[in-house]
């Protein structure tokens, strides 16, 4: 499920991020990728040891807590600390699939179920740089306004187009979901969305309660806690 999540960051928060990142010490993005990815990756990242990465990453996580749409769709169990990248001067990332297992800072491991890109500048500020996600319905080109995010299955084949003018800034991270299978997460998300809509429209209360029970029983049956 490819889903647009608007307004994760406010415009004021984006402006703060941009000021801090404008003076950042970027490093070669290939330092945080495996041998296969290094052949197709040309971008810059904040080093994993960067205090700025840790500071801004915590700000992203705080922002996500205000975003019920993110939690309803991703059903996160654990989130890898957000990273930050920059594409400019023809920088790109060719087609790849994200690694299945990521290492957390405490030495624990995280299974990547859901990938997230949080855009930190508007698409009018650069040319190229679209996130291309390939699935059974074809290829989808994504470029959202600053502060918006997209999530998609980490198993998806995807790439970032070359940036031929300006620079594309983003935060990116992975989520281990309570629900391993994308199809099951989609079902739960659609059911949750329908329940909220029926509640807002004043639907029969007993029916809404029954549907809510179905949602939680499916979540109980499918979740990994």
Q: 44-89: per-residue pLDDT in tens?
A: 999 999 999 999 999 999 999 999 999 999 999 999 999 999 999 9
Compute CA distances 31 → 42, 48, 128, 136, whole Å: 11, 10, 23, 31
Q: Are 185 and 75 in contact (CB under 8 A)?
A: yes
Per-residue pLDDT for 110 more than 80?
yes
The alpha carbon torsion through 35, 36, 39, 44 (nearest 10 deg) reads -70
Q: Considering the entire predicted model, what is its pTM?
A: 0.94
In tens, the pLDDT along 159-209 reads: 999 999 999 999 999 999 999 999 999 999 999 999 999 999 999 999 999
Q: Which domains does the chain have, with CATH numbers?
A: 3-177 (2.60.120.620), 182-222 (4.10.860.20)
Show the tokens assigned to 119: 């855009």
DSSP state of 165: E
- Of the listed ranges 31-40, 44-53, 107-116, 120-129, the least confidently predicted one is 31-40
Burial state string for 71-83 with b = 16 or more CB within 10 A and e = fewer than 16: ebbbbbbbbbbbb
pLDDT of residue 204: 97
For residue 162, count other CB atoms closer than 10 A to its CB.
18
Mean pLDDT computed over every residue of the chain: 95
pLDDT exceeds 80 at position 114: yes
- Enumerate residues 6+ apart whose C-beta is below 8 A from 71: 64
Average pLDDT over residues 156-160: 97
- List, for residues 22-49, the tens digit of each pLDDT value: 989 999 988 766 666 668 999 999 999 9
- For residue 34, what pLDDT is reported? 60
pLDDT for res 225? 82
Q: Which two tokens stand for residue 134?
A: 């390939």
Name the residue among 150, 24, 148, 3 with its Cα closest to residue 88.
24
Nearest to 120 by CA among 36, 60, 198, 177: 60
Q: Which residue has the tokens 């915590």?
A: 58
């Amino acid at each position: 499920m490819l889903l647009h999540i608007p307004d994760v960051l406010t415009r004021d928060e984006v402006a703060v991020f941009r000021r801090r990142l404008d003076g950042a010490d970027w490093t070669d993005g290939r330092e945080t990728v495996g041998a296969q990815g290094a052949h197709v990756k040309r971008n810059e990242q904040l080093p994993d040891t960067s205090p700025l990465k840790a500071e801004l990453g915590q700000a992203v996580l705080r922002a996500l807590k205000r975003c019920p749409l993110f939690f309803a769709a991703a059903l996160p169990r654990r989130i890898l600390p957000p990273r930050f990248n920059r594409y400019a001067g023809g920088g790109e990332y060719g087609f790849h699939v994200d690694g299945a297992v990521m290492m957390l800072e405490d030495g624990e491991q995280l299974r990547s179920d859901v990938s997230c890109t949080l855009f930190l500048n508007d698409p009018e500020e650069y040319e190229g740089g679209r996130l291309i996600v390939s699935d059974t319905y074809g290829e989808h080109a994504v470029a959202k306004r600053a502060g918006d995010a997209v999530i998609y299955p980490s198993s998806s084949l995807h790439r970032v187009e070359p940036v031929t003018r300006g620079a594309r800034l983003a935060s990116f991270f992975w989520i281990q979901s309570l629900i391993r299978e994308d199809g099951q997460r989609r079902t739960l998300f659609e059911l949750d969305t329908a329940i909220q809509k029926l509640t807002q429209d004043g639907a029969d209360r007993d029916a809404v309660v029954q549907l809510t029970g179905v949602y939680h029983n499916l979540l109980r049956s499918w979740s990994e806690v």
